[in-house]
Amino acid sequence: MCDTVVALGNSTRSGAVLFGKNSDREPNEAHELVHIPAGDHQPGEVVKCTYVEVPQVPHTHAVFLAKPFWIWGAEMGANEHGVVIGNEAVFTKVPYEKGPGLIGMDFLRLALERSDNAEKAMYVIIHLLETYGQGGNCGFAHPFYYHNSFLIADTQQAWVLETAGRQWAAEKVKDIRSISNSITIETEWDLASDDLIRFAMDSGWCSDKGHFNFARCYSDFLYTRFSDAHRRQRCTINALYTQKGTITLHTIMQALRQHTSPETNGWTPDQAIFGSDVCMHAGFGPMRGSQSVGSMVSSLGQDGCEHWVTGTAAPCTGIFKPVWIDAGLPDLGPAPSGRYDPETLFWKHERLHRQVLFDYPARMALYAGDRDELETQFLAGAEPVRKGSPAERLAYSQECFDQALARTDQWIQMIEQSAVNKKTVFYYQRAWNSFNQQAQLLGSDVRLP
C-alpha cells in the first residue's frame, strides 16, 4: 500500500510544486536508488522492461528512480525536465492479466524517459496502456496483481491518472491532491477512455450514464476496503490543507511520517492485524504484509528541481537526504537485494528500523530529536548550494548521505544497548522473526525481543 501527495505552487510557501510519496512493498523487498543518464537510440531498438519488450524511442531523458531492486521500472522517480511520478496499486473489478506484460512501475519509468512535462507523461502512459494493456506479477516473495493509478507533476501542473484494465480517467489537479490504493475519481474528470462508461454498463456495474461513478462502478470493494485507502488519503489531505499556502518540504516529509490521525496518541506498530498507515510498518497477516520501504519528496521550481529521499524503510525512523539529477547520485555502496547486506544503504538502516519496532515509543525517543536536528541541518545547508555547480551539489549530497550513515551506526549501537520495556504482541514478534529469517538478518536463528 502506498500514498502519494502533491501541492501546486498556489498552495506552497515557496511557490514551487511539492510532491511526495511513500513506496510500500514487502519488508525484504529492498529499495534501490538509481540514476540513468540520457541516451540516444537506433531505429529498431527495443527496451526490455520487467517482463516484456517494447519499441525504444530515439531519445530518452535522464532519470532518477526509487525502485524495488528487482523491477525494471520504479514506484517513484523524476527526470531532468522536472517531471515526477508516483504510482499506486488500485484494485478493480476488471480481471487482471496475469501473463507477462507491462506493470505499473514500467509505465512510470517509460513515461519519465519519454516526456518533458507532466501532460506528455500522462499521454505516454495512456498510449502504452491502450496499446499493450497492463499485466504481470508485481509481488516479490508472493504473487500480487493489481491495476494502477498515477500522480504526475512538473513545475507548473499535476495530473491524476487512474486505470482499470485498459480503461482510464484523468483529472487535472487544482491545488492539493493525494491518492492512495483506491480509485478516487467519481463523476467528474477532465479526460477519459472512449468507452469508460459503456464498458461499465456492458459489465452490469451501472444501468445508464446518469448513474455512472468511476470509483463506485470499477472498484473491487473487498481489497479497496482492506487497503484502508480512504482513511490514509484523508490523513494526507488533511495534513496538507491545514497548512495550505505555507506548505514546505518539511510539511510533506511530516505528512509521509504519519501513522494515525493527529488526535490519536500512543501508537505502536504491533497494535493491529488489519488497517494501514501512511508510514506503514509490516506486521502479522496478509493485510499488513507491506511496509514503507522508501520515501521521496520533491521541490519542482522554475529555478531548479531537487529531490529528498530516504533510500531506506519507514520515514519515521529514517532521514531525508538531497539529490539532484544533473549532479548524479553520490556513492551509495553496492546495490541491495532481498538478503541482508550491511554494506548497502537499505539494509544498514533495516538493522536500526527492525530493532526500533520492538519498543517503538521508547526507542524512537532515544534518537528522534537527533534525527530531526540533522535533517533540519540538511535542509538549511541545501539553500546555498542550490545555485552552485553540479559538482558542488553532488559533494553536498554525498556529505549528507555520509553523515546520515555515520549517525545511523551510532543510533544502532544506542538502540541495541537499550533495554526493551514493552512486551511485544506475540503474533507481531512471530511475523518479524519470519521476515528476518527470510532475509538472513542477524543470522537465521534471530529472535528479537
Question: Tell me, what's the pLDDT at 204?
Answer: 95
In a domain, 337, yes or no: no
Number of domains forming the structure of the chain? 1
Determine, yes or no, domain membership for 377. Answer: no
Mean pLDDT of the chain: 93
Q: Are 148 and 87 in contact (CB under 8 A)?
A: yes
297 DSSP β-pair partners: 20, 308
**More confident call, 359 vs 312:** 312
Contacts 24+ apart (CB under 8 A), 274-278: 274/226, 274/228, 275/228, 275/231, 276/1, 276/24, 276/227, 276/228, 276/229, 276/232, 277/232, 278/3, 278/22, 278/232, 278/235, 278/236
Task: Quick: pLDDT tens for 65-116.
Answer: 999 999 999 999 999 999 999 999 999 999 999 999 999 999 999 999 999 9
pLDDT of residue 248 exceeding 50, the answer is yes
Q: Look at residue 433 and tell me if it is in a domain.
A: no
> What tens digit of pLDDT does each residue of 212-243 get?
999 999 999 877 777 788 888 899 999 999 99
Q: Considering Cα of 152, then 157, then 163, then 168, what sign does the dihedral take?
A: negative
Q: Which residue is listed with cell 534518537? A: 367
How far apart are the C-alpha atoms of 48 and 15, rounded to whole Å? Answer: 39
| 400 belongs to a structural domain | no
CATH number at residue 54: 3.60.60.10
User: How far is it, in rounded angstroms, from Cα 60 to Cα 74?
Assistant: 16
| Domain assignment present for 373 | no
Write the DSSP string, 93-158.
SSPPB-SS---HHHHHHHHHHH-SSHHHHHHHHHHHHHHH--BS---SSS----EEEEEEE-SS-E
Q: What does pTM read for this prediction? A: 0.95
**2 given a catalytic annotation:** yes
Q: How many percent of the chain have pLDDT more than 90?
A: 82
Percent of the chain whose pLDDT exceeds 70: 96
**Within-domain flag for 390:** no
Residue 375 has pLDDT above 80, yes or no: yes
Give me the domain span that covers residue 317: 3-332
Split at pLDDT 50, 70, 90, the class of 25 is: very high
pLDDT band at 442 (very low <50, low <70, confident <90, very high): low
Comparing CA positions, the residue from 64, 71, 85 lying closest to residue 26 is 71
Mean pLDDT of 160-175: 98
Residue 107 lies in a domain: yes
Residue 413 lies in a domain: no
Distance separating the N- and C-terminal Cα atoms of the chain: 27
Catalytic residue among 2, 235, 305, 400: 2
Separation of alpha carbons 247 and 251, rounded Å: 6
